A and B are shown apart, each in its own frame.
Chain A
């Protein structure tokens, strides 16, 4: 009996010690990891709270491992015959009090950390190099469709207005007062991030976000804000709404929607 209980005591003492050391190392590691993550831009603006951990892990993992990957593009034959425009807020209601001239002469106002802030017309934007891509829109609800999206890469436009090297986010807002969002520079400068003004060989229909929609190809549909009329280039998301980077976290959704 004695040897065995002595043996047990020794084991439990050793186990207690190793458990303590492991716990301390784990806590220290977590603190260091979160400092490093902050420093290298791996923390989403809405990372706080117990449910922010999952989003932070997803965002950090994808930024570390797949920062420059391209969204899938499809052959022309796979373009959906029945694209679906979710009526988040019926466009007719939204545009009821909007003068027709606003729609006809759409303008995009750029402010923040840019060399040439100001208001750019849709034709100014269309004069820049454009890109056409056949990609899928996936909604958080579960449905998806494929369409051809034609637009000016945001990167081209940002180069035109001259962004500061200290810029970390691009905030973009809709004519719809309850819809604005932001992306980090990895997505802002991504070649498939388009200031979209065309769809399936024609103008972008109002139901799909026309005259101007931001398409973020590697994230869920709700990041692709419709009726974009304002851009702000910034190094901090504090002061925009509740400082969570997007209106979506204020409704319970995550800022990062690459999942």
Chain B
């Protein structure tokens, strides 16, 4: 039994109603100004965080569970990368140039930018109903078929007739909700647990994670999930029509010409 999804039926049968049923924001914009500005600041901050984080890791690419761990302790795992420090044994015959100080400054600066931007995004989204309207799944999104269709076929159709371009599809909702409400809070939490001054002020934060080294290892693993999202997100944007999607995220306007034939 295959039925067209509720969204596509609704969108296709009455184009005139599309604006009032599924538009992301009033005025026919796909993305509101706040969403666009916070998206790009977050994008730059995420790139800076992943880049500087990768650099910081090379100072000690060994990871441990629990509270402590040094070169004298067996690691839980070691990343197969060269190190920026002479004393760290690696399989490589060379030592990377050491820019750890600069990487760290960039990392914390980008973290502040991302957290402050995230607070602006979250508070305005609660205020305007962006979360409720565009992110929390509606009934037609909460099944595997909708998810699979969104990933496999949704982009081809979005390209052909523009349907679904006013709101997020099931796969997008799932991915964005995971990043906003799971990965980002986990990254902030595990990151703060690596701050000796923050641990002094809120010891329960690092204790609940199971210790400083566990927090560091989790911070790496969650960053890996974020990297997977970023790669998938960019791939999907390219598949769905790079120019149209970029234009929508920059100007806010979804492509409308010749899409309703």
Cβ B59 vs Cβ A259 within 8 A: no
Cβ B100 vs Cβ A140 within 8 A: yes
Cβ A69 vs Cβ B112 within 8 A: no
**A213 interfacial by beta-carbon distance below 8 Å:** no
Chain A residues, CB < 8 A from B56: 142
Cβ B198 vs Cβ A62 within 8 A: yes
Cβ A143 vs Cβ B196 within 8 A: no
Cβ A141 vs Cβ B196 within 8 A: no
Chain B residues, CB < 8 A from A87: 87
Contact residues of A: prevailing secondary structure: loop
Q: Which of B102-157 contact A (CB under 8 A)?
A: 102, 104-106, 108-112
Chain B residues, CB < 8 A from A53: 109, 112
Tell me how many residues of A have a C-beta within 8 Å of chain B: 43
Within the assembled complex, what's the spacing in Å between the Cα atoms of A251 and B111?
22
Within the assembled complex, what's the spacing in Å between the Cα atoms of A84 and B71?
7
If A54-B108, A58-B108 touch, does A142 touch B201 (CB 8 Å cutoff)? no
**B14 interfacial by beta-carbon distance below 8 Å:** no
**A57 interfacial by beta-carbon distance below 8 Å:** yes
Tell me how many residues of B have a C-beta within 8 Å of chain A: 39
A193 to chain B, nearest CB (A): 12
Cβ B112 vs Cβ A57 within 8 A: yes
**A218 interfacial by beta-carbon distance below 8 Å:** yes
If A140-B104, A141-B100, A254-B104 touch, does A82 touch B200 (CB 8 Å cutoff)? no
In the complex, identify which listed stretch (B62-70, B230-238, B244-252, B253-261) lies at the interface while the others stay far away: B62-70
Instruction: For B195, give its contact among A83, A139, A248, A259 (CB under 8 Å).
Output: A259
0/1 interface trace, chain A 216-259, chain B, CB 8 Å (1 if under): 01111000000000000000000000000000100111100011
A126 to chain B, nearest CB (A): 27
Chain B residues, CB < 8 A from A220: 196
Within the assembled complex, what's the spacing in Å between the Cα atoms of A65 and B198?
10
- The total of interchain contacts (Cβ-Cβ below 8 angstroms) comes to 122
Cβ A72 vs Cβ B72 within 8 A: no
Instruction: For B201, give its contact among A62, A82, A138 (CB under 8 Å).
Output: A62
If A84-B70, A143-B71, A146-B67 touch, does A258 touch B106 (CB 8 Å cutoff)? no
Chain A residues, CB < 8 A from B57: 142
**B163 interfacial by beta-carbon distance below 8 Å:** no
**A199 interfacial by beta-carbon distance below 8 Å:** no
Chain A residues, CB < 8 A from B70: 80, 82-84, 143-145
Within the assembled complex, what's the spacing in Å between the Cα atoms of A1 and B112?
45
Cβ A51 vs Cβ B201 within 8 A: no
Cβ B60 vs Cβ A142 within 8 A: yes
Instruction: For B68, give its contact among A65, A140, A144, A217 (CB under 8 Å).
Output: A144
Instruction: For B69, give its contact among A65, A70, A144 (CB under 8 Å).
Output: A144
Cβ A66 vs Cβ B197 within 8 A: yes
Cβ A143 vs Cβ B111 within 8 A: no
Q: Which of A118-147 contact B (CB under 8 A)?
A: 136, 138-146
Closest chain B residue to A146, Cβ basis: B68
If A138-B212, A141-B60 touch, does A259 touch B197 (CB 8 Å cutoff)? yes
0/1 interface trace, chain A 60-96, chain B, CB 8 Å (1 if under): 0010011001111010001010111011000000000
Within the assembled complex, what's the spacing in Å between the Cα atoms of A18 and B102?
37
0/1 interface trace, chain A 37-62, chain B, CB 8 Å (1 if under): 00000000000001101110110001
